[in-house]
Chains A and B, each alone.
Chain A
Amino acid sequence: MFQTSKTLRTVFFIVGIFGALAGPPWLPFATIVLSMLRWGAWEAVLVGLLVDLLWLPSLFAFPVYTVTSLTLLWIFEPMRRQFFYL
């Protein structure tokens, strides 16, 4: 069970990186949301940061993906504690 969880988390991360570099914008967003729902994955925050550093139009533009991933990281924490942490 633990191995499956770890594998799935890795797959989401790889898919998120691929989506950030070469896929449609919704792909990294979907992997971030799914990762945050289940694990509070720190690597999903990296995916959001990658999207913003790669595509933001200017230095001071608002980093939507980074802020969204950090927000989801904190917002889903009570739910993760309730349902997934033993």
Chain B
Amino acid sequence: MNSFRQNKQTRKLSIVTLVTLAIFVTDVASGGVLRGFIHTVGAGAESVIALFMQSDFFASRNALKSENQSLKREIARLNTLIVEDSALRAENRALRDIVRLADRSVGIAAPVITSARRSPYGTFLIGAGAVDGVRVGDLVLAGASPGVVVGEVTQIDAHRALVQQIFAPNISTEVLVSGVPLFLSGRGGGSARADAPRDAPISVGDIVIAPSFGGRPIGVVAAVEKNVTGASQTVHITLPVNMAATLFVYVSNK
């Protein structure tokens, strides 16, 4: 390939690079106007695909999928009830301590309009925005009252908001498990991990509470791996709500 064509190709690549960076910088400088428009397109695409998937072509598959999701919702509902009961008992025991659960705050219900699995950054869109009173930093809860914190609003448009999941990859959150303060690191897919002192009294089923979220529960301990040679134990935490089957969430002020 002669040098003229090489230079032409290099010039083309440079233009592509500069235009892409310009688009991104323009979006950031404008406060997210372009991505607000793209969120609208994304929500619309989800609706179109949902209509297509409900067509007769996918009828038998849809029936199985519907039953599967129904069963998953039932399991998630029962798990949430267990978490709620355990959370209320933990609150009763901890009445003399400083931490209190600030539940039943003012908020609104919002539909989940994109699947949490679509995003590589652990984010999803909900169908409520600035017009509905949603603000950046609002907590997003799922499950029966008082609910489990599943995410935090990070961007808002007029009628939609982007929520980042608590357990999104590489997101760290300070939590309390059986009174032991830990730093939880999200691993995506509704799971997280934390390292605890070896003698910490943590067991499977313990409720994970986040003081920064008003002391609300954010998960349950799914497994504990004790390191026989080290001074720590690895605590695996899971979200007791199946986000794939969650249709509505509750947006509450922090």
Q: Number of residues in B with C-beta < 8 Å to the partner?
A: 37
Separation in Å of the A41 CB from the closest CB of chain B?
Answer: 9
B32 in contact with A59 (CB, 8 Å): yes
- Contact status of A58 and B154, CB under 8 A, knowing A49-B20, A63-B24, A66-B20: yes
A57 in contact with B20 (CB, 8 Å): no
Name the B residues within 8 Å of A54 (CB-CB): 35, 38-39, 42, 119
Q: Which B118-150 residues sit within 8 Å CB-CB of chain A?
A: 118-123
- Contact status of A65 and B120, CB under 8 A, knowing A21-B42, A59-B28: yes
Name the B residues within 8 Å of A55 (CB-CB): 118-121, 123, 162
- Contact status of A61 and B121, CB under 8 A, knowing A49-B20, A70-B17, A85-B1: yes
Q: How far is the CA of A14 from the CA of B174 in the complex (A)?
A: 42
Name the B residues within 8 Å of A23 (CB-CB): 118
B168 at the interface (CB under 8 A from A): yes
Chain A 9-46 interface 0/1 with B at a Cβ cutoff of 8 Å (1 = within): 00000000000011111000100000000001010011
Name the B residues within 8 Å of A60 (CB-CB): 28
- Contact status of A57 and B162, CB under 8 A, knowing A21-B45, A63-B24, A81-B9: yes
Interface centre among B16, B28, B162 (most CB of A within 10 A): B16
B27 at the interface (CB under 8 A from A): yes
Separation in Å of the B29 CB from the closest CB of chain A?
Answer: 9
Q: Which A56-86 residues sit within 8 Å CB-CB of chain B?
A: 56-61, 63-66, 70, 73-74, 77, 81, 85-86
Task: Please give the residue numbers on chain B whose beta carbons come within 8 Å of chain A beta carbons, in ascending order.
Answer: 1, 5-6, 9-10, 12-13, 16-17, 20, 23-24, 27-28, 31-32, 34-35, 38-39, 41-42, 45-46, 49, 117-123, 154-155, 162, 164, 168
Task: Please give the residue numbers on chain A whose beta carbons come within 8 Å of chain B beta carbons, in ascending order.
Answer: 21-25, 29, 40, 42, 45-46, 49-61, 63-66, 70, 73-74, 77, 81, 85-86
